[in-house]
Amino acid sequence: MKTELRSNRRLTGPNVIWQHPGPIIDIALNDKDATVFKEKWAQHITALLEGMGWTVELASRHFPGGLSLAFNAPMDRLYVACEMNEWAYNAALAEINSAEQLNLDEAIEAFTQEMRQEANPPLLRIQSAAAKRGQQFLTCDDYVSVGSGVGSQMWSVKDLPEAASIDWDAVHRVPTAMVTGTNGKTTIVRLLRAMVVASGKVPGMSSTDWLMVGNSILDKGDWSGPGGARTILRDNRVEVALLETARGGMLRRGIGVLENEADVALINNIAPDHLGEWGIQDVDMLADTKFVLRHAGKTIVLNADDEHCIKRAGLVTRPIVWFSLEADNKIIAEHLAAGNQAIRLDADGIIRFYNAGDVEFEITASDIPMTFGGAALHNVANAMAAIAVARKLDIADEHIASALSDFQSDTKDNPGRLNIFEINGAKVIVDFAHNPHGLTALSSMVTKMNAKRRLITIGHAGDRQESDFYDVAMCAVDSGADRILIKEQINDLRGRELGEVPAFMKKTLLNAGISEDRIEIHDSEMAATKAALEWSKPGDILLLLTLSERSDVLSYLDKIS
């Protein structure tokens, strides 16, 4: 049997396999071999765990071309547990292939010694004490903390106090929201931040762009995983925590908090993106990953217009708040009739939050600047999701309304998301959209705008599948653009050869009937931006889909607009 060990890592929170911490390995193998290999692995890891006196709890996930294998382990022994998991993998493979067998007794002795060195009893005592008091507990390689935000206390993992010496009366949680979905996550946490600021409290925000507390950016980059969540939750200035939660972090480590430790969790939408990574082969598997977040929230906000949210709503055991762009959505109607809460866009263009039959909040969609008079329906949906989350954070309605009225789709409030510039009589729109779901929503808005001619720039990161390149190129075809500029995402080659992705996209466009004189290829996003501006004339609309060079492009456009 041929296999390949793809990943050996720690799970520190609820994850796509189960809700426990422990080690996990991902292996590649033929599907026909999966059952046999899992059984052999289970035999060897069970023998090892029993020999070391550990409780045996196993979990697995089979996906096309691969297998994930995990077991439960204490939080202070996850590194040795990873080594044990790899030993069981090698032992299973050796037995299946009739190779030299690994010695179980020697493994038990070696791993027992390592376990004693790694064990941290004070950590487990603090974890237990926090659980008994219903307080948040967070740990990583360097630090252990209890509580969150202004109510948190943190220590070095190597110098922990005894649980009994902690001033537990000073430990408490701050209101916490977690946000996931394929599109709209960053816009929603930015809008929520504006609502918190309007309420006079200090927000802490982790996102794909940066870590931010109050008005201070702690670090730039993608902080949408558990590391970003822990940083915000441990900051003693934070009064409300807003945690963007992407699928990558959930797959690699699990979510950043334990079960039921966020006041509210939002699953905004689910659409194809990042398929083929970490064993996620199709949109249903992606949806299962996103729905891991249901374990975190005391209330779950779901999209009643999203088929994947609807399909998995039965998995949710906490109260649900649905939202919908459809005034006659049956799920909303039935939910309200049962005495629950929901928010929808009614036929008169007013967003209303309902508690059973009572309206508790309302605002006209066209009065929210980021909806562009209600034309940007995806931002109407984002606004509704944010309203639902904010009310579960106990943000007062007047502060919610104030933030919605003041929040702009510009480089200050929402950089890179539907930013519009007027340059030499042309309208230039910069957006982060990079998958068919986001592009379709954006095109729906842009096609409603009058234009003499239209231009779009497209590209993609190299770690996506060719079907993703095809889909984005076809979105450009469907946009009705008069000119299509394909740009190399020079910082996102990720294993592809220079020019490979643009060449594939050009071929797709030509096969779709786009004449070659309407297509250009440029070696960077900035080069494509400048070429688009050179082509433009008064009355044109330029849609610049800008990702890796977003900051430079926005700065350039700010200077010349």
**CATH code of the domain in which 288 resides:** 3.40.1190.10
Share of the chain above pLDDT 70, in %: 98
Confidence of residue 254 (pLDDT cuts 50, 70, 90): confident
Cα–Cα distance, 271 to 515 (Å, whole number): 30
| Domain boundaries, position 146 | 121-170
Lowest-pLDDT choice from 371-380, 463-472, 533-542? 463-472
Confidence of residue 14 (pLDDT cuts 50, 70, 90): confident
pLDDT at 437: 79
Are 400 and 278 members of one domain?
Answer: yes
The two structure tokens encoding residue 101: 């067998």
Q: Mark which of 118, 135, 156 sits at the end of a domain.
A: 118
Are 151 and 218 members of one domain?
Answer: no
pTM of the model: 0.89
Are 437 and 457 members of one domain?
Answer: yes
Q: Is residue 411 part of a domain?
A: no
Rg of the Cα atoms in the chain: 25
pLDDT at 151: 97
Q: Is residue 218 part of a domain?
A: yes
Are 274 and 315 members of one domain?
Answer: yes
- Cα dihedral angle (490, 496, 497, 503), rounded to 10 degrees? -80
Helix axes 525-535, 550-560, angle to 10 degrees: 30
pLDDT at 53: 93
Q: Is residue 349 part of a domain?
A: yes
Are 378 and 229 members of one domain?
Answer: yes
The domain tally of the chain equals 4
Q: Mark which of 355, 383, 406 sits at the end of a domain.
A: 406
pLDDT digits (tens, 9 = 90+) for 482-501: 999 999 988 888 888 889 99
pLDDT digits (tens, 9 = 90+) for 306-361: 999 999 999 999 999 999 999 999 999 999 999 999 999 999 999 999 999 899 99
Cα–Cα distance, 280 to 393 (Å, whole number): 32
Q: What is the mean pLDDT of the chain?
A: 92
Are 358 and 424 members of one domain?
Answer: no
Are 395 and 529 members of one domain?
Answer: no
Query: Please, what's the b/e burial string for 233-254 (b: 16 or more CB within 10 A of its CB; e: otherwise)?
Result: bbbeebbbbbbbbbbbbbbbbb
pLDDT digits (tens, 9 = 90+) for 174-195: 999 999 998 899 999 999 999 9
Which residues are paired to 267 by β-bridges? 180, 302
Cα 450-454-456 angle, rounded to 5 deg: 130
pLDDT at 281: 64
User: DSSP labels for 469-500?
Assistant: HHHHHHHHHHTT-SEEEEE--GGG-TTPPTTH
Cα–Cα distance, 479 to 444 (Å, whole number): 8
pLDDT at 280: 63
Are 397 and 458 members of one domain?
Answer: no
Lowest-pLDDT choice from 14-23, 32-41, 299-308? 14-23
Burial of 191 (0-12, 13-18, 19+ CB in 10 A): buried
User: DSSP labels for 381-433?
Assistant: HHHHHHHHHHHHTT--HHHHHHHHHH--SSTTTSTTSSEEEEETTEEEEEE--
Q: Is residue 412 part of a domain?
A: no
Are 228 and 328 members of one domain?
Answer: yes
Which residues in 194-345 belong to E strands, given as ranges?
A: 203-206, 210-213, 216-220, 240-244, 262-267, 297-303, 320-324, 341-345
Indicate the pairing of strand 419-423 with strand 426-431. antiparallel
Q: Is residue 555 part of a domain?
A: yes
Are 368 and 467 members of one domain?
Answer: no
Q: Is residue 414 part of a domain?
A: no
Are 318 and 452 members of one domain?
Answer: no
Are 187 and 322 members of one domain?
Answer: yes
pLDDT digits (tens, 9 = 90+) for 422-439: 999 999 999 988 788 788
Query: Please, what's the b/e burial string for 34-58 (b: 16 or more CB within 10 A of its CB; e: otherwise)?
Result: beebbebbbebbebbbeebebeeeb
Q: Is residue 97 part of a domain?
A: yes
Q: Which of 370, 339, 364 is nearest to 352 (CA)?
A: 364
Cα–Cα distance, 232 to 242 (Å, whole number): 8
Q: Which of 194, 200, 176, 201 is nearest to 263 (CA)?
A: 176
Does 272 score more than 80 pLDDT? no
Answer for the pair 196, 232: CB distance below 8 angstroms, yes or no.
no
Does 278 score more than 60 pLDDT? no
pLDDT digits (tens, 9 = 90+) for 24-48: 999 999 999 999 999 999 999 999 9
Does 273 score more than 90 pLDDT? no
- Mean pLDDT across 116-123: 95
Q: Mark which of 99, 118, 137 sits at the end of a domain.
A: 118
**CATH code of the domain in which 433 resides:** 3.90.190.20
Does 480 score more than 90 pLDDT? no
Q: Is residue 550 part of a domain?
A: yes
pLDDT digits (tens, 9 = 90+) for 129-183: 999 999 999 999 999 999 999 999 999 999 999 999 999 999 999 999 999 998 8
Cα–Cα distance, 382 to 371 (Å, whole number): 9
Confidence of residue 463 (pLDDT cuts 50, 70, 90): confident
Mention every residue, 6+ apart, whose C-beta is less than 8 A from residue 494: 461, 462, 463
- Mean pLDDT across 437-447: 83
